[in-house]
Homo-oligomer: A and B are copies of this chain.
Amino acid sequence: MLLVLKFGGTSVADIERIKNAAAIIAAEVQKGHKVAVVVSAMAGVTDQLIGYCRDVAPLYDPREHDAVVAAGEQITAGLMAMALQQRGLNARSWQGWQVPLRTDSTHSKARIIDIDAAAFRQRIEEGEIGVMAGFQGITNEDRITTLGRGGSDTSAVALAIALKAERCDIYTDVDGVYTSDPRIVTKARKLPRVAYEEMLELASLGAKVLQTRSVELAMKYRMPVQVLSTFDNAIGSDLPGTLVTDGDDTMEQNYVTGIAYTRDEAKITLVKVADQPGVAAAVFGPLARAGINVDMIVQTAADDGETTDITFTVGKADLDRTKKVLEDERKKINFTKLLAAADVAKISLVGAGMRSHPGVAATMFETLAEKKINIQVIETSEINVSVLIAEEYTELALRALHTAYGLDGK
């Protein structure tokens, strides 16, 4: 069985942890598996290198930025190969350009085009452990690129696909995917399995276990991904973490698989906008051109029958810029008032079972009403229901919903 094992920044934060990760890899080899490894930079190194870039040139050239920050993964890849050799294993490091892992030229958030893993695979077949530097690739012009924050997850899944691996194991500082954030919901349970589409929703709705793009890629190629801890239960146990894979019957025991949340959004309401065709374009066109991502959108008719209120959310970091863009367009959009609130939280139920059980949201609304929590915005998709509430109720809402949907563990 060929496995790709990926170790994140906290799993290779110092020499001791690199040696610990090497022991985990050795245990997989011991079981008879062929192994490829993908490593992140040692925790803190990427931030330090980004800091250098900012200090040199606040508006830095992203091509040079990528050349600088890719050094972090280069270092870990070499050290990991040495740590494996030190255990008597045959291993070597591979930089993105050596594989090569080709990307487009969107520097600092490049997308993978292709991994030509023939040479890499050949040596794995010969019993060598290939340690690939995560996060980095090269363009067709041989310039170094990086894949964006958390990009090593995507590197690992892409390598697993290119190698036709059996599975991609993501070793991190949590031991799996939980029904909700265990730091808030003490009764949260670790999920043994999650469907790709659920994981995708959980990741994009605030669960920080996996980079969203890595889940998209895994889903597209049906590559099983396992999330597990470097520190707790890794050596010797089978499937000790959470397996992200195709949905199946066993996952529909609960309609709701997990409850995610994020405090990273802010709410904007445009009051009394003229209710006529083209108004949405007038609002959201300028925001898109300014590179501002809009998430939840609701539009409600005002009682005068001629105007409408438009409410939507943007990233908190974009709030001031959003207000400015809209004020600049005030005449064209023609609104009476602009209301903005940063003290909101978005709570999301996720579950593939919702698809066949359309009444799931009702329990959410009742539960929040019982706790006197006002719902500001509602948004639903096939497999999730999200509500925006006042930020101060976040913990209360999470715990109440976790109980209401029968997710509590013992």
Question: Which A residues are within 8 Å of any B CB, using their own CB?
Answer: 15, 18-19, 49, 52-53, 55-57, 60-61, 63-68, 70-72, 74-75, 77-79, 81-83, 85-86, 92-93, 95, 97-98, 142-144
Q: Is the CB of B93 within 8 A of A56?
A: no
Q: Is the CB of B52 within 8 A of A81?
A: no
**Given A68-B75, A71-B71, A75-B49, residue A82 in contact with residue B97 (CB < 8 A):** no
Distance between A385 CB and nearest chain B CB, rounded to angstroms:
45
Distance between A266 CB and nearest chain B CB, rounded to angstroms:
32
**Given A56-B18, A68-B74, A75-B49, residue A85 in contact with residue B98 (CB < 8 A):** no
Q: Is the CB of A74 within 8 A of B67?
A: yes
Partner of A93, one of B53, B67, B83, B93: B67
Chosen A-B contacts, 30 in total, with CB atoms closer than 8 Å, are A15-B52, A15-B55, A18-B56, A52-B75, A53-B78, A56-B79, A56-B82, A57-B82, A60-B82, A60-B85, A61-B81, A61-B82, A64-B79, A64-B81, A64-B85, A64-B92, A64-B93, A65-B78, A65-B82, A66-B78, A67-B74, A67-B78, A67-B81, A68-B79, A68-B82, A70-B74, A71-B74, A71-B75, A97-B97, A98-B142
- Residues from chain B with a CB closer than 8 A to the CB of A143 are 98
Question: Residue on B with the closest CB to A52?
Answer: B79
Distance between A249 CB and nearest chain B CB, rounded to angstroms:
47
- Residues from chain B with a CB closer than 8 A to the CB of A61 are 81-82, 85
Q: List the 8 closest A-B pairs by CB distance, nearest first.
A: A68-B78, A67-B78, A71-B71, A57-B86, A57-B82, A64-B78, A15-B55, A56-B82
Question: Residue on B with the closest CB to A48?
Answer: B75
Cα-based distance from A72 to B77 in the complex (angstroms): 14
Cα-based distance from A83 to B65 in the complex (angstroms): 11
- Residues from chain B with a CB closer than 8 A to the CB of A85 are 57, 60-61, 64
Question: Residue on B with the closest CB to A70?
Answer: B74
Q: Is the CB of A82 within 8 A of B95?
A: no
- Residues from chain B with a CB closer than 8 A to the CB of A79 are 52-53, 56, 64, 68
Cα-based distance from A72 to B67 in the complex (angstroms): 11
Question: Residue on B with the closest CB to A81?
Answer: B64
Partner of A67, one of B52, B60, B63, B77: B77
**Given A71-B71, A71-B75, residue A64 in contact with residue B52 (CB < 8 A):** no
Distance between A264 CB and nearest chain B CB, rounded to angstroms:
29
Cα-based distance from A301 to B111 in the complex (angstroms): 76
**Given A57-B82, A83-B56, residue A92 in contact with residue B63 (CB < 8 A):** yes
Distance between A346 CB and nearest chain B CB, rounded to angstroms:
37
Question: Residue on B with the closest CB to A67?
Answer: B78
- Residues from chain B with a CB closer than 8 A to the CB of A60 are 82, 85
Distance between A194 CB and nearest chain B CB, rounded to angstroms:
35
Cα-based distance from A19 to B72 in the complex (angstroms): 22
Question: Residue on B with the closest CB to A138?
Answer: B98
Cα-based distance from A143 to B56 in the complex (angstroms): 30
